[in-house]
Amino acid sequence: MKAVRYVLIAIVALIILAVAAVAIAMAVINPNDYKPQIEQAVEDATNLDLILEGDIGWSFIPLGLELNSVEAKLEGDRFVALEQLVAQIDFWSLIAMSPRVNTFVLDGLDARLEVNEQGEGNWNRIMPEKAAGAATEETAGTQDEQAQDSEGAGGEPLNFNVENVQISNAQLHYTDKSTGQAVTLENFTVNASNITLGSEFPLEIGFRVATTQPTFEVDGSISARLAANEALNEFAVSGLNAVFDMTGEPFGGKEVTAELEGSARANLENETANLSGSTASLANLNLSTDLDVTGFGDKPTLSGEVSIAEFSLKDLLNNLGQPAVETSDPDVLEAVAFSTGIGGPAGKVELTDLTIKLDDTTFNGSGSYNLADSGIVFNLQGDQLNADRYLPPQAEGETEEAPASQETAAAGPEGDLLPLETLRSLLLDIDLGLGQLIVSNLTINEIKASTTAKSGLLKIDEFSGKLYEGSFGANVTIDARSDNPKWTVGSDVSNVQTLPLLTDLAEVDMLAGGANLKINATTTGNRISALRSNADGQISFNLAEGEFRRMNLTRMACQGIALVNQEDLTTTDWGTSTPFNDMRGTLDINGNTLNNTDLVAALAGMRLEGNGTVDIAQSQLDYEVGLRIVGEIHRDNACRVTEYVENAVIPVECRGNFAEDPAGLCSFDGSRFRDTLKTIAENAAKAKAREEVDKAKAKAEEKVKEKVQEQIGDKLKGLFN
């Protein structure tokens, strides 16, 4: 026991001697006497010129060092400077092998970083250039030090405490002469106290950042309570409150406020993290998140919820200083919201109970994102959407100026339709449904769309819906694996009523009936002009139980018949439509031109026959139509069908721009009526010949009869004689 007591006495004595030695050294040695040696040592080891203008002081309890008015210059320009640096460590904590920083104060730090026109930073010139051999030795030494550090990395947990940390009036100036960009960080402050590993401590940060390209300023303040364990592998943030006031060119000069609140925890050893009660706001946009993460590698597992509270998009754009979105309905974009649950297996993010709200439209469904192959899967079902409400409002006189606008657009540069590289990287599987869609004044119900994309091959396997008492279905394949993508289009339309369709779509009411279409077409290219020029395929159609409105073909036919009969029509009320049964034909697609050679339709007493072309690029129609007389077509006596007229063709021509005046396209074709007259003359000649033949035949028969009667009479007379 006495030995132990003597050992303890010896240790205490050594500590007392060490304390006394340090105290005597601090009392006797004045560090200011060594300023020239310190400045010279820095200049010898670096390219910096160190200037120690202020006093250097130190203290015993607590053990510390104080520097005042220090500046370092690089090539004659200030590189870094500080007004005051105070670093104090509790002496007794060193004796107890539990170091405790009493105070750390940094005031007036000024750092200036600059990149020249050649893209070289001034910080790269701090150290002088060394010979290759010296660099090799230094690298080897560094590797040895890293190995030693690695060997000692698995030591005991760090027991480190800090009483007070204070950074004030710090600023950093960054200038890039190669780009003209300049960034300034100023008024940077940090305040923290009672920093102890394993316990929670407060932290406050303030700063101001400004840039020149674009001009942008941020005033920020952050307050929170932080915690870290002694092993520095577990961290926590609670009571986070961060506010950022921003202004500048990105916001049109307006001041915008962003805020962050919430709590977070992370464990590096277990690779877990979570956000709880976290909210982020930007102007009137508010996002809430609760999220748990397991695994920090390539295949993390996520679970939680994300939601964006209902907000006005128009107000958000106004608050952010962005141009307003002009819509035909001023009441849209006023209620936008989003919410979803997050889950799924490792490496896959699954969205469940997904809800997207856009004013009166709500989409519900699910989705997923695969981290390994970036595969995206979505299944969304919506109720109803009026897309016309979101279109730009139509200005006065816009309709009349449309042709000029089209010419201007055509004269401008034409861009690509598809981003081919992006499309080749997509892996998609999307199913979309919508109860009702109004677009271009058309009403489409029960829409279903299914899209897949893989390795540059995009397929719309199904796009179907119900449209004006009928239905439609389409499929499209885009092969973008080459720089000249190939398009294949197929469509099937059944019994769509054309009158309400054309009326709602283009305010055209010239055609009625149930339309049936089959489209099969191919094309190549990545621009509208190329797709039109390279189009090839066929459209077959028939229109059942329909009528031509604002067009009376019966009157046109009767005009021709009256000319043949050399009489005048007496009827004045002809009506404004022409009914027909089963009009059908085939359109061959050849670039911008549609060719039709087999147009037929059954009309009252007539059969419509025609052929012609449609130039889509010029919106031009060029058709020759014939009305073949097959029976009585009207009660007007001048329009009576004689044997001369029957089977004759009354010519009608349809030519002009169908985008301007569809009703005025068709008229009686007098130039082709000569052929009709020739046919009628031939019919008349045939009829006259038949009449002469009939007369000669009758006369011959009469003569034969008379001759026979004479012969019979003679024989009877001889018999009776």
- Within 8 A by CB and 6+ apart from 695, the residues are none
186 found inside a domain: no
Query: Do 446 and 351 have their domain in common?
Result: no
- DSSP secondary structure of 693-708: HHHHHHHHHHHHHHHH
Query: DSSP 3-state assignment of 410?
Result: helix
Can you give the pLDDT at residue 61? 59
Mean pLDDT on 361-375: 93
**Per-residue model confidence (pLDDT) at position 572:** 84
Q: What is the pLDDT of residues 152-163, one digit of tens each?
A: 444 455 556 778
Residues 494 and 591 in one domain: no
Of residues 705 and 350, more confidently modeled: 350
156: left (phi over 0), alpha (psi -120 to 50) or beta: beta
**Per-residue pLDDT at 405 exceeds 50:** no
| Distance from the first to the final alpha carbon of the chain | 195
Residue 257 has pLDDT above 90, yes or no: yes
Name the average pLDDT for the chain. Answer: 82
Find the helix or strand (DSSP H, E) in which 3 lies: helix 2-28
Residue 670 has a pLDDT of: 72
**Residues listed for the chain:** 721
Instruction: For the chain, give the longest Cα–Cα distance.
Output: 197
- Residue 270 CA: distances (Å) to CA of 248, 267, 347, 410, 644: 43, 6, 17, 61, 101
Query: Exposure pattern of 351-377 as b/e (b: 16+ CB <10 Å)?
Result: beebebbbbebebebebbbbeeeebeb
- Paired strand residues for 10: none
Pairing of strands 649-657, 457-467: unpaired
Q: In sequence order, what are the residues at sequence separation of 6 or more whose Cβ sits closer than 8 angstroms to the Cβ of residue 312?
A: 284, 333, 334, 335, 336
Distance CA(540)–CA(261), nearest Å, equals 63
**Residues 395/401, Cβ–Cβ less than 8 Å:** no
Same structural domain, 557 and 514:
no
Q: Residue 624's Cα: distance from chain center in Å?
A: 46
pLDDT digits (tens, 9 = 90+) for 11-45: 444 444 444 445 544 554 567 776 787 778 878 88
Per the structure, the count of domains in the chain is 3
pLDDT at 385: 94
Q: How confident is the model at residue 465 (pLDDT cuts 50, 70, 90)?
A: very high
Is residue 432 domain-shared with residue 314, that is, in the same domain? no
- Alpha-carbon gap, residue 565 to 651, rounded angstroms: 17
The pLDDT assigned to 85 comes to 84
Peptide bond into 500 cis (omega under 30): no
Say if residues 117 and 78 touch (Cβ distance below 8 Å): no
Q: How far is CA 542 from CA 426, 551, 554, 599, 685, in A?
A: 40, 19, 21, 9, 38
List, in order, residues 6 or more apart from 219 with CB less than 8 Å away. 207, 208, 244, 245, 246
CA torsion sign for 131, 132, 135, 141 is negative
Same domain, 529 and 539: yes
Read off the pTM: 0.75
Instruction: Give 413's DSSP letter.
Output: P
Q: What's the CA angle centered on 400, arms 397 and 404, to 5 degrees?
A: 115
> Would you say residue 32 lies in a domain?
no
In a domain, 389, yes or no: no
Euclidean distance between CA atoms 154 and 248, whole angstroms: 49
- pLDDT digits 0-9 by tens, 549-599: 877 888 888 887 887 778 888 888 888 888 888 889 999 999 999 999 899
Give the domain-ending residue among 355, 374, 409: 355
Q: Which residues contact 104 (CB under 8 A, 6 or more apart)?
A: 86, 87, 88, 162, 164, 165, 166
Tell me, yes or no, whether 544 and 564 share the same domain.
Answer: no
Q: Are residues 539 and 565 in the same domain?
A: no
Alpha-carbon distances of 317 from 174, 208, 336, 389, rounded to whole Å: 31, 25, 13, 18
Is residue 714 in some structural domain?
no
Gap between the Cα atoms of 550 and 567, Å rounded: 26
Question: Which single residue is written with the structure tokens 């005031």?
Answer: 107
Show which of 340, 355, 370 is a domain's final residue: 355
pLDDT attached to residue 705 = 53
Q: Find how far residue 706's CA is from the centre of its chain.
A: 100
Q: Is the domain of 619 the same as that of 582?
A: yes
Residues 457 and 557 in one domain: no
- Tracing tokens 């329009």 back to the chain, one arrives at 639
Give the number of C-alpha atoms closer than 13 A to the C-alpha of residue 379, restricted to the C-beta side: 7
Residue type present at position 399: T
482 with 555, same domain: the answer is no
Tens digit of pLDDT for each residue in 67-103?
A: 888 888 888 888 889 898 887 776 665 556 565 667 8
- At residue 676, the 3 state secondary structure works out as helix
Between β-strands 215-228 and 234-248, what pairing exists: parallel, antiparallel or unpaired? Answer: antiparallel
The angle at the Cα of 285, spanning 281 to 291, to the nearest 5 degrees, equals 60
Per-residue pLDDT reduced to its tens digit, 430-462: 999 999 999 888 889 999 999 999 999 999 999
Task: Please indicate, yes or no, whether residues 335 and 251 belong to a single structural domain of this protein.
Answer: yes
Choose one of 298, 329, 355: the last residue of a domain. Answer: 355
CA 329 to chain centre: 22
**Residue 52: per-residue pLDDT:** 83
Q: Is residue 506 part of a domain?
A: yes
Q: Give the separation between CA 238 and CA 231, rounded to whole angstroms.
A: 20
User: In angstroms, rounded to a whole number, what is the distance separating the alpha carbons of residues 555 and 604?
Assistant: 12
Residues 504 and 575 in one domain: no
Cα 510 to Cα 267, 490, 611: the distances in Å are 73, 27, 19
Whole-number pLDDT of residue 143: 55
Q: Would you state the structure tokens that stand for residue 380, as one six-digit string?
A: 């969304």
pLDDT digits (tens, 9 = 90+) for 629-640: 888 888 888 888
pLDDT recorded at residue 279? 95
- Is 162 inside any structural domain? no
- Between 388 and 160, where is the model more confident? 388
Q: Do the domain assignments include residue 374?
A: no
Structural domain boundaries enclosing 673: 551-693
Predicted local distance difference test score (pLDDT) of residue 406 = 42
Region at 406 (left for phi over 0; alpha for psi -120 to 50; beta for the rest): alpha
Tell me if 206 is assigned to some domain.
no
Q: Give me the amino acid identity at 217.
A: E
